[in-house]
Amino acid sequence: MSEYQSITSEVDGNVGILTLNKGDRHNAFDEQLIAELTDGLHEMEADQRVRAVVLSSTGKSFCAGADLEWMRRAAGYSHEENLRDAHHLARLLSTLNELAKPTIARVQGPAYGGGVGLIAACDIALGTYDASFALSEVRLGIVPAVISPYVLAAIGERCSRRYMLTAESFSAAEAYRIGLLHELVPGEEQLDEAIAEILDRLLANSVAAQAECKALIRIVAGQPIDEQTREDTAQCIARVRASPAGREGIAAFLEKRKPHWNGD
């Protein structure tokens, strides 16, 4: 594993854990954290041991959005420099969203701005009762542009209109209601227990089928159910049924035994 300054990276069995490690600065984004987290995700994708990735953080906050010092520097940036920074954040979120392996956000505290984007780009998100959230960009005279595709996919256009326009803070219960979080628990101990249960379920399944499923969701989401969609989905299942994972999974079901995935 690479040496990082703003995050930590470890592999526990078949689980990769990337942890934002700037608790004293509320794990806020800057150029270094964005670059290191992107690199860490690429490492997890390439590591054959890793079958699922947990995104967590140290300290009291999950991620407070943009770092104040970074924003102070950015205030003097040219258009080209601002565009460069935006592309780096876009690459991070795209890498997280398109990772072939299942991803889980472990949300133990406040998440603002880009922190909400990280959660929205994960496949599964769990949080504690005292977590809080805000899409606070318009309060600063800017917009949540780069994170918007992922936030809209997670909570929908209607809720995005309210929370992007008001910049108001909302509770973990509200995040659960609108779909940003999948599950709520009282504290961090219960958070780890709940994540462990989900990991057990994830690790029981086919790696290849999970990657195909993630790709399928990205293709089908928001598309009309027309002839092209019907053809694309028929081609997908025909291909996957004939794959080694598909053949083994069906055979195991019919023979009433556990499948032997062997990492696919």
User: Can you say whether the dihedral through the CA atoms of 28, 24, 45, 152 is positive or negative?
Assistant: negative
Three-state DSSP at 186 gives coil
CB distance 104 to 125 below 8 Å: yes
Nearest to 89 by CA among 165, 170, 28, 175: 28
43 included as an active-site residue: no
Measure the CA angle with vertex 165, ends 162 and 166; round to 5°. 80
Q: Residues 36, 69, 137, 255: which is the catalytic one?
A: 137
- Alpha carbon distance 240, 255 (integer Å): 20
CB distance 123 to 52 below 8 Å: no
Residues marked active site are found at: 137
